[in-house]
Amino acid sequence: MRMTYKKSASPYLLILPVILILVMLLGVPVIETFRLAFSHPVSPFGNFNRIMASGELWQALKYTVLITAIIVPLQLILALALALFINMRFKGYLFMLYVISIPLALSDVSASLMSYSIFGPSGYLNKILINLGLIDSPIYFFGYVFQNRAFWVIVITEVWRATPLVFVILLAGLQSVNKEYLEAADVFGFSRWTKLRKIILPLLKPAMLSALLIRTLFAFQIFGVVWLLAGRDIPVLAGEAYFWQTMRHNPNVAASYGLTITLVLLVISWAYLVLLRSRETEGVAL
Amino acid sequence: MIKRIAVLLVAGLIAIWFLAPVVLIVISALTPSAEYYDPVRIFPRTITLTHITSLLVTLGGWRATLNSIQVAGMSIGISFLFGIPAAYALTRFVFPGKNTFRLGILMTRTFPVLVIAVPLVIIFLRIGIDDTLFGVALAHTTMVLPFVVLITSSIIGGISVEYEEAGMIFGLSRFGSFMRITMPLVLPGLAASAIFAFIMSWNEVFVAAVLNLTNRTLPAHILRTAMTAPDYFKFAAGTIMAVPAMIFIFFTRKYLMSLWGISLK
């Protein structure tokens, strides 16, 4: 039995404040973003023209896409390996679960400063290499001339920080795999590899897709790690928005970058949904 | 036997990969500057608290920490005040538009929150709450409130409605029945969610850094000053940011899977 009152106004009264808050704090700012991005003394597309003509938009877009395209698959593969390992339920796996989830609590700010303590000019990596006699003077990872090295430090930092997020989603997916399927597979003498490929991975697909979507959405908003480790040497969309807003005091250009992020993410979410739906119909056809 | 050793070895490597950066930054923060800049000395012989204390006292770290706590506190307060009733409606009522509402809340979780920072600067200026902690708290509410609605509705949904009905039969009001029967049962779960909400706000840097110039939260303060500060202050800052978050996670580890599952889906 459920407590339902026909035509009761109370549930609406209960959700109304939430709707109002979100409309005021998300809806209104989104409209304001459009207004800002498309107001320019000369033409509505003036702000976009400006950052497109200077090539800044393309640079930022290039690096954002590049970082996303590298870290997301890496995180997925590593997280899958971790989840399969932890799901073996060996003695002490709960402790490992806690260890792996530590980066979940850490901000991008902390994580990038941790990276800096390792890869900095006086960082642990350089000190160890010097002590081993492999190098005489420190290897520099940061600064405009070392852009490429900084890029890979950023990749490592993001992989370290966000793999556990994917891991948690995949582990939850693994735990909901019906044990009876695996027992049946044992009865038929399937190998571990066959079980993984034919049973576990197909069942894990929804979890993997949702992890993929979430990570893509967040990777595209990458800011703290890049800004702290490379500044504008490696331009990303969010970093450019921050730069134009706080250092150039130009909210119009900043909003143009914000709008770019939103639009790209909309396209990505839509693509995932289409992909997901086609997969589902495929399943029905089979 | 060989398998057990292999498992132990892999587990050891994983533990080192995830723990080493955390341990190393804490050591770095405690290393005296002379030893830090000595290229052949990996680990310090003596430790010092001067970097951490001077970051907190003279460089404004303590004030920023208090700002962060206030922002998170206000944001959690607003989110729970309005989020719990909404979650109650989602679990205890059947009404047209319920699924649309739930879907809308879910969608906001995938919305790039950093986008609202720039327009909020202008809106807050207009209504006179620019550069205030309350403003940042409102901005953070856009992440925290949807999370609270979703997590709370799943927690309340886990408590059978029949307890509440029994309370109402014995003369309690709907509100009284919820507060005196369901509330005590869901309190531990709500506390864990509050801790997660705290970490969300505590770690958020983009919106906080864009919105406030003078009343900065800790991550915004670090972002603005870290690049010009000497290295050892960077490590002290990273440590101060990391420690509370890790302590909180430790206390909520039981809820880790369910909370992240919901906060991310």
> What's the one-letter identity of residue B204?
E
**Crossing angle of helices B161-169 and B61-92, rounded to 10°:** 70
Give the whole-angstrom CA distance, residue A32 versus residue B15. 46
Give the whole-angstrom CA distance, residue B211 versus residue B140. 11
pLDDT of res. B260:
57
Distance spanning both ends of chain B, measured CA to CA: 40
Q: Which pTM value belongs to this model?
A: 0.90
Determine whether the interchain pair A110/B146 forms a contact, defined as Cβ–Cβ distance below 8 Å.
Answer: no
pLDDT of res. A280:
55
Query: Among residues of chain A, what percentage have pLDDT more than 70?
Result: 94
Mutate to test the interface with B, among A6, A12, A14 (most CBs of B within 10 A): A14
Residue-wise pLDDT tens digits, A137-186: 889 998 888 888 999 999 999 999 999 989 988 988 888 888 888 888 88
Query: Both tokens of residue A135?
Result: 């190098």
pLDDT of res. B258:
64
Which CATH code, of 1.10.3720.10, 1.10.2020.10, 1.10.1270.20, 2.70.98.10, is assigned to B49-264? 1.10.3720.10
Compute, in degrees rounded to 10, the torsion defined by CA atoms A90, A96, A100, A102: 160
Determine whether the interchain pair B39/A33 forms a contact, defined as Cβ–Cβ distance below 8 Å.
Answer: no
Residue-wise pLDDT tens digits, A125-137: 999 999 998 988 8
Q: How confident is the model at residue A87 (pLDDT cuts 50, 70, 90)?
A: confident
Q: How confident is the model at residue A43 (pLDDT cuts 50, 70, 90)?
A: confident
Phi-psi region of B264 (alpha: psi -120 to 50; beta: other; left: phi over 0): alpha
CB A206 within 8 A of CB A246: no
Give the mean pLDDT of A33-50: 91
Give the whole-angstrom CA distance, residue A31 versus residue A28. 5
Question: How many angstroms away from the CA of A182 is the closest CA of chain B?
Answer: 21
pLDDT of res. B1:
82
Determine whether the interchain pair B22/A168 forms a contact, defined as Cβ–Cβ distance below 8 Å.
Answer: no
pLDDT of res. B257:
64
3-class DSSP assignment, residue B205: coil
Chain B residues lying within 8 Å of A115, measured CB to CB: 21
Q: How confident is the model at residue A56 (pLDDT cuts 50, 70, 90)?
A: very high
CB A17 within 8 A of CB B86: yes
* 265 residues of chain B, pLDDT tens digit each: 888 899 999 999 999 999 999 999 999 999 999 889 888 888 898 999 999 999 999 888 999 999 999 999 999 999 999 999 999 999 999 999 999 999 899 888 888 888 999 999 999 999 999 999 999 999 999 999 999 999 999 889 888 888 888 989 988 888 898 989 999 999 988 988 898 899 999 999 999 999 998 999 999 999 988 778 889 999 999 999 998 888 877 777 777 666 655 554 3
Please report how many Cα atoms fall inside a 13 Å half-sphere around the Cα of residue B169, on the Cβ side.
7
Please report how many Cα atoms fall inside a 13 Å half-sphere around the Cα of residue A233, on the Cβ side.
18
Question: How many angstroms away from the CA of B230 is the closest CA of chain A?
Answer: 12
Chain A residues lying within 8 Å of B85, measured CB to CB: 14-15, 17
Chain B residues lying within 8 Å of A92, measured CB to CB: 11
pLDDT of res. B217:
95
In CATH, the architecture of A47-285 is Orthogonal Bundle (1.10)
Query: Among residues of chain A, what percentage have pLDDT more than 90?
Result: 56
Which residues contact residue A228 at a Cβ distance below 8 angstroms, ignoring those fewer than 6 apart? Answer: A108, A109, A112, A113, A116, B223, B226, B227
Where are any strands of DSSP class E within A153-264?
none
Compute, in degrees rounded to 10, the torsion defined by CA atoms A260, A263, A269, A273: -150
Residue-wise pLDDT tens digits, B115-164: 999 999 999 999 999 999 999 999 999 999 999 999 999 889 888 888 88
Chain B residues lying within 8 Å of A36, measured CB to CB: 118-119, 122
Give the whole-angstrom CA distance, residue B58 versus residue A76. 43
pLDDT of res. A283:
43
Inform me whether the pLDDT recorded for A11 exceeds 80: yes
CB A130 within 8 A of CB A120: no
- State whether ipTM is beyond 0.85: yes
pLDDT of res. B58:
87
Determine whether the interchain pair A18/B105 forms a contact, defined as Cβ–Cβ distance below 8 Å.
Answer: yes
Mutate to test the interface with A, among B8, B115, B143, B144 (most CBs of A within 10 A): B115
Inform me whether the pLDDT recorded for A286 exceeds 50: no
Inform me whether the pLDDT recorded for A1 exceeds 70: no
User: Can you give the residue ranges of every domain in chain B?
Assistant: 1-48, 49-264
Determine whether the interchain pair B115/A33 forms a contact, defined as Cβ–Cβ distance below 8 Å.
Answer: yes
Taking CA–CA distances from A138, the nearest residue in chain B reads: B39
User: Can you give the residue ranges of every domain in chain A?
Assistant: 47-285
Question: How many angstroms away from the CA of A129 is the closest CA of chain B?
Answer: 9
Determine whether the interchain pair B110/A269 forms a contact, defined as Cβ–Cβ distance below 8 Å.
Answer: yes
Task: Count chain A–chain B contacts defined by CB atoms under 8 A.
Answer: 279
